[in-house]
Amino acid sequence: MANTNPTKGLAAKALTNETLKSLKAPTDRPYYDVRDLGCRGLIVRVHASGVKSFRWHYRTDGKTKVETFGRFGKANGHISLKNARDTLERAKAKHQAGERVGHAEDDPETVAELAEILYRGRILPHRKRPEVVRYILDHDIL
């Protein structure tokens, strides 16, 4: 029988900011995972590059899914251990309520919505002739 628990067999530690900082990058493989004993379900993936990212493995519709919450650190765009734990608890609550995990209200649900976001955010502000891209989107893609 196949292992249905993706976190079984992972190293486990009660994570703190100091233990996260002390986790070393692997030299013999691309990454390794560490389970957080302080917050059930939180996993830290340590990449060979030294990047540490917070993840959660969960099951929905009979499939194992992975939600990545962000990178550990103090740099812009990175999150702290406390924020990762809080984000995981919110994600668990959404999952328990039957809502889609990781789905924001403004996420596009169709190709047309995605194309419009691309056009308004990336094409209009940066192109001299955005109408050419609009034509391609309307006639060739949509």
What is the arithmetic mean of pLDDT over 53-81? 88
- Does residue 29 or residue 125 have the better pLDDT? 29
pLDDT per residue over 69-103, tens digit each? 889 988 777 899 999 999 999 999 988 888 877 65
Model pLDDT, residue 124: 84
pTM exceeds 0.85 for this model: no
57 contacts 65 by C-beta, under 8 angstroms: yes
Tell me the C-alpha distance between 39 and 35, whole Å: 9
Model pLDDT, residue 6: 52
Among 7-16, 63-72, 119-128, top mean pLDDT goes to 63-72
Q: HEC states along the chain?
A: CCCCCCCCCCEEECCCHHHHHHCCCCCCCCEEEEEECCCCCEEEEEECCCCEEEEEEEEECCEEEEEEEEEECCCCCCECHHHHHHHHHHHHHHHHCCCCCCCCCCCCCCHHHHHHHHHHHHHCCCCCCHHHHHHHHHHHHC
| 55 alpha-carbon distance from chain centroid | 7
Q: How confident is the model at residue 105 (pLDDT cuts 50, 70, 90)?
A: low
Model pLDDT, residue 3: 47
Please state, for a pLDDT cut of 70, what percent of the chain lies above it.
89
The mean of the pLDDT values for the chain is: 85
Q: At residue 104, does pLDDT exceed 70? A: no
Tell me the C-alpha distance between 135 and 142, whole Å: 10
